[in-house]
Structure 1
Amino acid sequence: MRLSHIKLAGFKSFVDPTHVPVPGRLVGIVGPNGCGKSNVIDAVRWVLGESSAKHLRGETMQDVIFNGSGERKPVNRASVELVFDNSLGKAGGAWAKYSEISVKRILERDGESAYFVNNLHVRRKDVADIFLGTGLGGRAYAIIEQGMISRIVEARPEELRTFLEEAAGISKYRERRRETELRLQDTRENLARVDDILQELTKQLEHLEAQAEVAAKYREFEASLKLTQHLLWLLRKQDASSQRSRLARDMEQSSLELEAETARLRELEANLEHLRQAHYGASDTVHSAQGALYEINAETARLEQALAHQRDSRRRVEHQLTGLELEISEAEQQEETLKSALSEQRVALDQASQRVEECSAVHETESAALPAAESSYAESRAETERAVQEVAQSEQAIGVETTRREHTEKLLAQLAQRSQRLEQERESLEGADPEGLERLRRELDDLELRSQEAREALDGLERDLPQLEQVHRHDSDAADGAARDLAAVDARRTALELLQRQVSRSGEMHAWLDNHQLDGFTRLWQGIRIEPGWEDALEAVLRERLNAIALDDVQRAAGWLTLPPPGKVSFFQKSDREMALPALGNRRPLLGLITCADPGVALVLSDWLDQVYVVDDAVQGFAERAALPGGALLVCPQGHVFTRNSVSFHAADSEVHGILARQREIEELQTRHANMEADVQAAKGRAADALGNLEDCRAKALHQREVAEELQQRRHDLQLDHVRLSQQAERAQHRLEQITRELEEIGSETTREREQGLAATERLADLQGRIAGLRDAVDQHRKVHEAAASALEARRHAVQAAAGRHQEAMFEKRVISQKLSDIEVDLQKILEKRERVRSAATELSAELSTLDEKPIQVELDDALATRVERESNLAQAREALEQAERELKEAEQGRMASEQRLSPLRDRVGELRLKEQEARLAEENFAAQLVDAGADEAELAGKVTKGMRPNALQGEINRLTEQIAALGAVNLAALEELQAARERKTYLDSQSLDLREAVETLENAIKRMDRETRERLQETFDQVNRNLAQMFPALFGGGEARLVMTGEEILDAGLQIVARPPGKKNSSIHLLSGGEKALTALALVFALFQLNPAPFCLLDEVDAPLDDTNTERFCQLVQQMAQYTQFMFISHNKITMEMAEQLIGITMPELGVS
């Protein structure tokens, strides 16, 4: 297997798609430092599965993707493809049949990495399996990069051992042994789990055997307990019936006494109400008199407060007048002071204005002479700069022309040499065979057309497959879903029908009805329907009568008095009369919510539901029950029943509970079942059709894929031949055309450069003659410029001094003006303040004259007289109210005495009613318990003896209960569980035996692999030592070297190199020089190659530390080994380059891009 091509795109510096052909067995890669040569080695290592960014000279794996340059943007994908020639079929596994193998790896910027072999997506492990035992891989000895030579020599014994294993070809054994160990570990874990389960199951069997014995005792105690409990219930039912009759008589007597006392209380309450009305009138009179008193008190307080306020205001105004007179005197003094300061500042302002005018005249005189000096200075500076610029331009032009002439001479010499080389190359080129190439092209075109047709047909089928699969899945899921829905509906309907039948066929009642040939008769619930939501209401009113049996003549039931039914049962007689709805105001009758499917039941419903009305909820029932007439009922949707004097809460304790709702649901389910059966059959038909279409498409796709692969293989073989011939022809023709164009360009460029050289020489002579005169002119202009600069500086100093004096005078004038303005403002403020104070004093004098106390004092005296009169009226009204309160209190005490006599009577009646209800509920409860337990009261009554007492029966029940409790938790299913556990133990025993045999088999396989590995490693170790003993002297011209083991067991021992060059007795390999270490490592690698030659070997500047003599020996050895192994090497050494059959040059014409 030989490497024939390397294709890179976006990998490190190879941003553009780059094709590196590897045509021979000795291929050299050359180029300057940093041009990307080692990136080719990294690319090969990367494709072979290297996963460490550090070994690819990066920090993260994304560093292998081109990251941009000065002129290029980063790319998002890197790909490298290695193409191998496998015409000898040496590749391992399923790829041996391919004459050419392509291994490709692609990495996206987002981190997704993919491997392909012959364009098939594979795992990284699949790529590694191809090269197992060949010396190739991410870190195998066949790829030697920069620095790896020294790492081989200085490697730890464990690391050096991996090279020996790769040479021995046991990498695949290692992998198989690792897989076997994993399987052995899984088997041992499974065996441990099975043993744990068996151990636990054994304990469980012992426990279940004990539980089965306890279960038998439990059934015996349970039967005795059941009989005793039934007898206790029967006795307590009889006691409750007797107690209920006695309490009913006592309750009737107490009710008569309660009604008489209640009448007396009503008379007392009427008199009390009359006295309350008189008390209310007296209370209103008191409130009126008290309100009038409050009103006059408020008026008196207001007048007293107004008089006090009038006096305070007068004192305040007199005080303010005194303060204002003092402010007027102070303002007149400040006015005189400000007028004197104003006269002084006006004199100072006149003097400052005169100084400003004098300084301004001097500044204008100096400033008028400044522009002339500045103009003279600017003219001299411009002349000097112009002269300097002309000199600089001339010097620059001389340098440019000199450089241009030298460049032209050098370029002409290069063009002559290049033209000579191209002429020699053109003579050596030969053309390819055009007829063979054209024949291959025609065959390829034909295969391409057929392959394209096959691929299009396959693509069409593969596009159809997902759609057909989706259709099939959808139709299958739809059919399954419809079938499940149908089964659910059928199961629900069956369960409901079974429950309805059980309602009519329960216990001893069914036997009694069967004996009297009544079992098949129509029940009441079968002939009626009620609006949804009102089922509980109808059940609460009718109760067991819902299950009433229809007879042609109800008189027939008189014959069953001698042998009555064993439980509650009702019979009714059908009639053709229409149902009459009861009416009670605007109330809705329960009958109005019922629809009779059987008209014969209408009359009995009219009797049973007469005066039964519905309310929306229990709250409305409690609110409206008091207005009901005698015998009328209210019922809410929850089933709670209200009468005028009672309320009964509904609970689902009847065997007919839910019978109406179930019947309506059964009818709805029957309709749904019929509709869904048709849907299921249609869905199954669609699923079968979809499956047929899918299988047909799959068969066609398989056949078409085989045809396409066969055509692809034939086309691939022809492409290789065509590419080989076309590349030869294209390269020759392309090169000839390129040489012709280059020779023409060289001729044109030579003529152009000669002309430019002559012109540059003439321009250079002219410039050298002009530059001396220009330099003299520059010196003269500089002297004139310096004199003008001195005169300008003196003039500027004089102008600045005059400006400073003028600014000082202006500042002094502004300060005096500001002071003058401030004094005028202050004077104006003083005048305005004096006028304001005088005006305020005038207003206060007017206000003082208006403050008079006499009118308010007269009003206050009148209000005090009125308050005395109204206090007298309030005292008389309070005396009348106290008299009414005394009379009301006496009447209230009489009513309370009557209520005290009434309360014990009411409590007595309530207590008797509760006890009667308690006895009745107890009787019904015990009767219901007997019915629920399926007990036969007639049979039980025969077992009741004369001296049997409930307490004794309860004691027996307690004893049996304690015996059952003493048994503890009882597993009634222990016998069945015991049998299942025994069967499971038998199965687990068999499974444990199988697992132990599997463990033994896997352990023997590992021992066999270890034995074969040990033998092969020992044989390889001996052979490598023999090869090393030959290679080392060949490279060094003498000396000795060998490998030694660091342990006794070859499977675990490491390796060390012992090397002694000629004439040296070094104790350690680390004492050797860099070149000696490199030769030692090469000797070891080549010794491994002799034993197990890798398909190819990559060497990256391994000859760098060698001198010329050692390099020649190295090259001779490589040439000998090239008979078995393909070598591709990177080198800067000319001796090594001469060894190559082909040279591949790598450059970087654009920075960062190889």
Structure 2
Amino acid sequence: MRLKSLKLAGFKSFANPTTFTFKHDITAIVGPNGCGKSNVIDAIRWVLGETSAKQLRGGAMSDVIFAGVEGRAAKSLASVELVFEHTQDEKHGIRHELNLYQELSLRRQVTKDGKSTYFINGQQVRRRDVVDVFLGTGLGARSYAVIEQGMIGRIVDSSPMQLREFIEEGAGVSRYQARRVDTEKKLAETRENLQRLSDLQGELKKQQKTLARQAESAKQYNQLNDKLHILHHEDLLRRLFEAWQYHELKKGEQGKSAEVLAALEAQVGQARKRLDEHSARVLEAQWLKDDARDKYHNAQMAEQTAQHNFLTVNNSIAQNDEKIARLKNTHAEAMANIEHTKSELEQLTQQLDELLPQAQQAQRELELAKDTQNDAQNAWQTQRDELNALMQQKNALQTEQKLLQTQVARVQESLEKSRHREEQLATALQNLANTDTEASELKKQQAVAQSLRQRLDGFGDEQELKAGVDKLQQLVNQHQAATTAQDKQHASLMGEYEILHKLVHTPAPKAKQDTAVNADMVQELESLPVLQTALSLTAKGRDLAGVLDKFLGFWLGARLADNPSVAICQNDAQSVKLILKSGKKSDKGVIASALYASDLLAKLPQSVSSHLVRLDELIATPTLEIFTRCYLYLGDTLPDELDCTALVGVMILTKTGWLLGSFGMMHISKLGDESGEFLVQRNKHLQRLAELDDELNALEEVLGKEQKLLKQTSGQLQTAKVELEELLAQKNAATVQLHHAEKMIATLTAKIDNEQIRRESLLAQHEQLTEEKKALSLELQQLQAQQQQCQEKLAEFAPLITLANQSMSVQTLRIDEVNALLKQRSETHNQLQLQINTLSQNKTHAERLLEMAKTSLAKTQADSEATKRSQDELHDKLPELLATFKQAQATSHELKVASDEYEAATKVLQLGQAKLQEELTDCHNQFTAAQTAAAQVSADTAVGESRLQDLADELTRFDEAFNLPAMLADFRANPNRQFVDNFAERERLKEQIAKLGAVNLAAAAELAELEARVSPMDEQIADITKSMTKLEDAIRTIDEKTKSLFLGALSAVNEQLNALFSKVFGGGQASLSLMEDDSLPKADKWRAGLVLMAQPKGKKNSRLAVLSGGEKTLTALSLIFAIFKQHPAPFCVLDEVDAPLDDANVARFTGLIRELACDVQFIFISHNKLAMQIADELKGITMPTAGISSLVTVDLQEAEKYLEPAV
């Protein structure tokens, strides 16, 4: 199996549809960094089922879709397709139901939502199907056949179980492991089913026991309940009799209570009449008493009002006297306040007149002091400005002085650095004084290189050998292509031949037999040949094959009977139909030997016989008597005068499908569901089989010649390749030595040139340094002179600044004196102004108090006069109010006496009324008691009647024939009958029922249903147990096969690993061994992980971790190629695995690839020119547009053809 092509569309940087075709054994993918070479590896791993976006250098699966660049929109779909050829090879093919052809196409596509879809040969499948197809081939998303960038170094550091996975894949046990996993899943599911079934059976058996107990309890319950039912019926009759007796008793008491109730009702009416008459007299007396009491109350209210008015006037007179006295005192106080306020007002006016002139004088002195302060402040500010100007000039000179000091220090430091640099240059020039050693070594290496070039020129013509190898390779490829094409054609023809042969010589499948009516006959017929396989037509029959198909379609499964005893003689239509519809085609075939014909031509009309063709004229083989008695009617319509009853022993079939015989007319569709064109297709198949036979014979002859030529050419090619490889190995060794010598020459030449350039550079630097020192010395002298001038100017400014500071101090003292005088005068002025303001406020307050005192005095005089007038009016009303009070007091006394008399009379009448009320109450109570007793009797009677009815209803439920009137009549006829109280017996039965507890009356039915469910479970458990045994046997078989394959592969890989390791390292040893795992049982020790040991030549045993990067890479490559030698995968993809290798190791690496290329197709990515040289074809990946990868293909063999004429 080979990889034919890889198609990418919208995958990562491959925005445009790109197809990689792989025609040769070794293909190199080259290109600059970042152009998308590793995306090809990612595409192969992705289409093989990789599900981790991280492994594909992305964050999500949708990241593999082209994301777009400037000027190019993003894609919504990414698709990758692998196409394999020769997938049905015996040795390296794919054994899977989805592999239907010699080519297999695997495609995967993903959309923006991250959903992936897989296709095999255009048919959508699951990822699991993709993994299943490639199980055991060494291909997979993370198999040893696809080595991504950086992975080759990690193989050496892999865990023991990861190393084991590589060997297992190389051993081809992955398909067995997948089958074992599926079997274990089935076994686990079967165990779960068995456990569930066992649990269910146990639970059902528990339920069965429980239901059995419940069924027994239900049986006891029914027996006890029946007894209780009888006793309860007897008790109901007893209670009915007692209820009837009680009802009759209450009916007698009800009549007596009605007579007593009527007498008491008459007594209550008489007592009520006497009470009503006396109550009328009491009401009249009560009215007179209430009228007298109302008049008395009114008189009493008038007396109280007159008394209140008199007392109110007296109180008002006393209050007015007190108020007049208070007003006199208030008037005297107001007069005294007015006099005092006037005296204070005159004093305040006099003090204000004295302070105003003083305040004006203080204001004038304050203004004069402020003017003096302003003059002193201006003089101080002027002096301050002069001092600031001097200080600024001094600061500028000081800043300039500091700057000059910094510059002097910088120049001095530069001079010191120059002197130090000069010393270093002198030392460097002394070190470069002698170059004779390098020159002598250079001459020696040049002589060695010249010798190697002469040796290389002495080798034979490599191009001639390559041309011979290429020519032989082309011949081998041509023969292989021809052989492959002929194999494909031969396989296709053989497939068609086998199918047609099977169609022609295999009988049709037998239909299912529905009845056993003819079972004995069928058993005998099974050993006979089938008509379908022996039938052949004459030339005339082939022309009428379409019509014969209709007639013989339901006979094709018939058996050919040589023994007459097999024949069935049936002449009536009913029996014929029975046999034809029995459901077995062989039964239909027997009909032929059951029909016996007479002379047909003598009995049939001429219009019919002229269109008849006998069946033996159309059928060449087999020769049967039945065919002489069967005819085809080729006419369009049958005449009406045809009598089917005359067709004894003969059958006629029309072109429209009607079958005629002594049984009548029957359409062929009634005989079964057989239809088709068997004879037409059979003729075509036989003709095609003859053609295929000739074509296969010719093709096998040509194929034999091609295979012989291929074998001869392959031998010649192998010999030429060995010669070419020996020549190339010698040339490569000489080339490596020459390359080393040229490298040494270039190194020494560059070293000598660099030393000369450095000497010249150092001399130039020394001259430049001398000039810089002179410039720095001159600059230092200038700076020191400027520093001296600045110092002298600073000395001149010192006395000027001192004089300015003295003048500033004098002005400051003057300002302080002026400020003190201004402060004193300001305080004096403020004190006077404060006194004036205080006196003005006091004067205003005194004036306001005087006005208020005058207003209060006027109000007091007005109130005094009004109070005196009111006092006079009250003295005038007082005698009249006293007379009114005395008159009201006398009237109130008279009305009180009359009210007391009426109240005494009313009390006498009320006592008589109370006595009559007591008599009425007694009568009414007696009537109520009698009425209650009568109601109780009526209620008891109703209760008795209701009880009778309830008992009757309950008895009716027990016995539908129960009749209450008849039973009551029986009670009246026998009123002294006796009933036994069976309460104790009923309680005993109830107690026994209660002891039974809750009873499931449906337990018996449930128990029967449960037993029907439990009974088949034992058989089901036995079947599941057998299935588990078979699955466990299958797992053991798989384990034995896996163990055998794994240990065999491990031994073979170890042998190849040691050989390859010794080859690439020139010695040493390497091995894979099972690690010691105490947790595993002895029988499973072979399941432990693997440990890789490597000991390069000349080194002691050491850990793999301390090997160099190149040694790790070569060790990992030895392991991978050892696995390939044991179990070659269809192709191997390597991504820059030669990066850590030097040229010598790259040569060893390419030698391994060249050695395995005959069995494995190699695709590798590399930047190494030596690695590129072994490739048959170069695939260049470029990125002409940023972010979009493009493919450029160069066939090196074709390129060499174009170069040959130029050479």
TM-score (normalizing by structure 1): 0.51
Q: Which residue of 1 aligns with 2:178?
A: 175
Q: Which residue of 2 aligns with 1:514?
A: none
C-alpha spacing 1:955/1:162, structure 2 compared with 1 (3 Å): same
Shift of 1:358: 9.8
State the secondary structure of the residue aligned to 1:937: coil
State the secondary structure of the residue aligned to 2:1023: helix
Q: Which residue of 2 aligns with 1:234?
A: 237
Shift of 1:181: 1.5
Q: Is the 8 A contact 1:48 1:137 kept in 2?
A: yes
Q: Is the 8 A contact 1:1099 1:1129 kept in 2?
A: yes
Q: Which residue of 1 aligns with 2:147?
A: 144
Q: Does residue 203 of structure 2 align to residue 166 of structure 1?
A: no
C-alpha spacing 1:1021/1:962, structure 2 compared with 1 (3 Å): same
State the secondary structure of the residue aligned to 1:1008: helix
C-alpha spacing 1:907/1:1059, structure 2 compared with 1 (3 Å): same
In structure 2, give the amino acid aligned to 1:173.
Y
State the secondary structure of the residue aligned to 2:82: strand
State the secondary structure of the residue aligned to 2:982: helix
Q: Which residue of 2 aligns with 1:1001?
A: 1030
- Select which of 948, 956, 960 maps to 2:989: 960
Shift of 1:979: 2.6
Distance in 1 of aligned mates of 2:287 and 2:158: 119
- Select which of 1001, 1008, 1018 maps to 1:979: 1008
Moved more, 887-896 or 818-827: 818-827
State the secondary structure of the residue aligned to 2:1015: helix
In structure 2, give the amino acid aligned to 1:171.
S
Q: Which residue of 2 aligns with 1:374?
A: none
Superimposed CA distance per residue, residues 840-873 of structure 1 (whole angstroms, 9 cap, x where no aligned partner) = 5455445545374857898998899899799978
Q: Does residue 1070 of structure 2 align to residue 1066 of structure 1?
A: no
> Which structure has the larger Rg over C-alpha atoms?
2
In structure 2, give the amino acid aligned to 1:155.
S
Q: Which residue of 2 aligns with 1:756?
A: none
Q: Does residue 1045 of structure 2 align to residue 1016 of structure 1?
A: yes
Q: Does residue 107 of structure 2 align to residue 105 of structure 1?
A: no
Shift of 1:169: 2.8
Q: Which residue of 2 aligns with 1:656?
A: none
Q: Which residue of 2 aligns with 1:186?
A: 189
Q: Which residue of 2 aligns with 1:936?
A: 961
Q: Which residue of 1 aligns with 2:116?
A: 114
Q: Is the 8 A contact 2:64 2:78 kept in 1?
A: no
In structure 2, give the amino acid aligned to 1:1142.
L
Q: Does residue 1142 of structure 2 align to residue 1107 of structure 1?
A: yes
List aligned pairs for 1:78-89, cutoff 5 A: 80-89=78-87
Q: Which residue of 2 aligns with 1:459?
A: none
In structure 2, give the amino acid aligned to 1:1093.
P
Distance in 2 of aligned mates of 1:73 and 1:347: 98
Superimposed CA distance per residue, residues 352-389 of structure 1 (whole angstroms, 9 cap, x where no aligned partner) = 7788899999999999xx9xxxxxxxxxxxxxxxxxxx
In structure 1, give the amino acid aligned to 2:982.
L
Distance in 1 of aligned mates of 2:74 and 2:314: 100
C-alpha spacing 1:364/1:997, structure 2 compared with 1 (3 Å): same
Moved more, 1106-1115 or 87-96: 87-96
Distance in 2 of aligned mates of 1:53 and 1:75: 23
In structure 2, give the amino acid aligned to 1:1102.
V
State the secondary structure of the residue aligned to 1:86: strand
State the secondary structure of the residue aligned to 2:170: helix
Q: Is the 8 A contact 2:211 2:1006 kept in 1?
A: yes
C-alpha spacing 1:951/1:100, structure 2 compared with 1 (3 Å): same
Shift of 1:185: 1.6
Shift of 1:179: 2.1
Shift of 1:1153: 11
- Select which of 924, 927, 933 maps to 2:952: 927
List aligned pairs for 1:532-547, cutoff 5 A: none
Q: Is the 8 A contact 1:331 1:830 kept in 2?
A: no
Q: Is the 8 A contact 1:254 1:908 kept in 2?
A: no
Shift of 1:1009: 1.6
Q: Does residue 198 of structure 2 align to residue 195 of structure 1?
A: yes
List aligned pairs for 1:425-574, cutoff 5 A: none
Superimposed CA distance per residue, residues 245-280 of structure 1 (whole angstroms, 9 cap, x where no aligned partner) = 234324424542553465357547757976689769
Q: Is the 8 A contact 1:349 1:816 kept in 2?
A: no
State the secondary structure of the residue aligned to 1:1080: helix
Distance in 2 of aligned mates of 1:9 and 1:331: 116
Superimposed CA distance per residue, residues 96-131 of structure 1 (whole angstroms, 9 cap, x where no aligned partner) = 5465332123453xxx53333368765443443344
Shift of 1:827: 8.3
C-alpha spacing 1:214/1:66, structure 2 compared with 1 (3 Å): closer
C-alpha spacing 1:901/1:1083, structure 2 compared with 1 (3 Å): same
Shift of 1:1004: 1.6
In structure 2, give the amino acid aligned to 1:179.
D
List aligned pairs for 1:473-872, cutoff 5 A: 837-838=849-850, 840-849=852-861, 850=863, 852=867, 854=871
C-alpha spacing 1:966/1:847, structure 2 compared with 1 (3 Å): same
Q: Is the 8 A contact 1:9 1:17 kept in 2?
A: yes
Q: Is the 8 A contact 1:1031 1:1087 kept in 2?
A: yes
Shift of 1:1025: 1.7
In structure 2, give the amino acid aligned to 1:263.
G
Shift of 1:1028: 1.4
TM-score (normalizing by structure 2): 0.49
State the secondary structure of the residue aligned to 1:1026: helix
- Select which of 217, 221, 230 maps to 1:218: 221
Shift of 1:340: 8.3
Q: Is the 8 A contact 2:9 2:80 kept in 1?
A: no
Q: Is the 8 A contact 1:1014 1:1051 kept in 2?
A: yes
Q: Which residue of 1 aligns with 2:1111?
A: 1076
- Select which of 255, 279, 303 maps to 1:249: 255
Q: Does residue 1070 of structure 2 align to residue 1041 of structure 1?
A: yes
Q: Which residue of 2 aligns with 1:94?
A: 98
Shift of 1:1109: 1.6
In structure 1, give the amino acid aligned to 2:1046.
L
Q: Is the 8 A contact 1:250 1:912 kept in 2?
A: no
Q: Is the 8 A contact 1:258 1:906 kept in 2?
A: no
In structure 2, give the amino acid aligned to 1:94.
L
Distance in 2 of aligned mates of 1:138 and 1:1039: 33
In structure 1, give the amino acid aligned to 2:1144.
T
Distance in 1 of aligned mates of 2:946 and 2:168: 95
State the secondary structure of the residue aligned to 1:139: coil
Shift of 1:1125: 4.4
C-alpha spacing 1:1103/1:947, structure 2 compared with 1 (3 Å): farther
Shift of 1:218: 3.4
Distance in 1 of aligned mates of 2:1182 and 2:33: 8
C-alpha spacing 1:1060/1:929, structure 2 compared with 1 (3 Å): same
Q: Is the 8 A contact 1:228 1:957 kept in 2?
A: yes
C-alpha spacing 1:23/1:200, structure 2 compared with 1 (3 Å): closer
State the secondary structure of the residue aligned to 1:1110: helix
- Select which of 1136, 1139, 1152 maps to 1:1117: 1152
Q: Which residue of 2 aligns with 1:590?
A: none
Identity of aligned residues (%): 28
In structure 1, give the amino acid aligned to 2:1097.
P
State the secondary structure of the residue aligned to 1:84: strand
Q: Is the 8 A contact 1:1032 1:1083 kept in 2?
A: yes
Q: Is the 8 A contact 1:37 1:1130 kept in 2?
A: yes
In structure 2, give the amino acid aligned to 1:116.
Y
C-alpha spacing 1:228/1:842, structure 2 compared with 1 (3 Å): farther
State the secondary structure of the residue aligned to 2:21: coil
State the secondary structure of the residue aligned to 2:1072: strand
Q: Is the 8 A contact 2:53 2:60 kept in 1?
A: yes
Q: Which residue of 1 aligns with 2:33?
A: 32
Q: Is the 8 A contact 1:5 1:19 kept in 2?
A: no
State the secondary structure of the residue aligned to 1:22: strand
